[in-house]
Amino acid sequence: MTHVSLSHNKRLSFVGKTGMGKTFLANYLAKQFARKVPDLQMVFIDPKFERRAFGDGETIDKPKLVTKYNPKIRFQCFQSYNWTSELEDMTMQIMKRGTAIVDLDELGGLATAQVVPDGITRLATQGRGKGVGLWSKYQKPLGVPKVLKSQSEYFFLFRLTPHEDRREMMNYIPDEAILERIPKFYYWLYHDEMENAILVKPIDIKGTK
């Protein structure tokens, strides 16, 4: 049996086509951390503008919609297609605060394989030592900054159709099994101390009649 222990300051990558379960799994993990780490702060960056429910920032499901980082709000969300000066300022402040997770919900125009904002690089390379985790969700690994992939300790690899995308992920998950096409909602779990990736079957919740 493989035991996987996550802590809030790790770098996680959720990779796969849209609709495969990346956001569902990330939200599930976020709720577990929120319960177990009382002073944990989470900042969601949503370049797709898909979040619709906003509140006072007291819950994961209804973060506070902000345009400027607030160190007192536990759960907050930026909706921006570009990496702005406000997000760069957020990076500096949250690194000083610590005990936090920054969730990049798809990269959109935030970064490309060739252009990576200083703030994203800083979170990926220095966040762990400051108590700040970085979660990245992406669909096309070839277009993602290398720093996000190379610095990730944990990968949750959902279905990827293009063979070249699965081949790209072998640079970070050294297991030829990931080249196989897997069922919808299944994912490969891998962290950098494992010899092989593990295929995880999603939980099937059925109602009673």
| Rounded (10°) angle between helices 85-97 and 118-126 | 20
What is the domain partition of the chain in residue ranges? 11-143
Among candidates 137, 75, 76, which has minimal Cα distance to 108? 137
- pLDDT for residue 113: 86
Q: What is the DSSP string of 42-91?
A: EEEE-TT-------SSSSSSSPEE-SS--TT-SEEEE--SS--HHHHHHH
- pLDDT for residue 205: 55
- pLDDT for residue 56: 96
pTM tops 0.85, yes or no: yes
- pLDDT for residue 106: 86
Element (H, E) at 35: helix 22-36
The CATH architecture that domain 11-143 belongs to is: 3-Layer(aba) Sandwich (3.40)
- pLDDT for residue 107: 84
pLDDT string in tens for the chain (209-residue length): 566 788 999 999 999 998 889 999 999 999 999 999 989 999 999 998 988 899 999 999 999 999 999 999 999 999 999 999 999 999 999 999 999 999 998 887 899 888 899 999 999 999 999 999 999 999 999 999 999 999 999 999 999 988 899 999 999 999 999 999 899 899 999 998 898 999 998 866 555 54
- pLDDT for residue 207: 55
- pLDDT for residue 109: 82
Contact 36, 180 (CB under 8 A): no
- pLDDT for residue 62: 95
- pLDDT for residue 192: 85
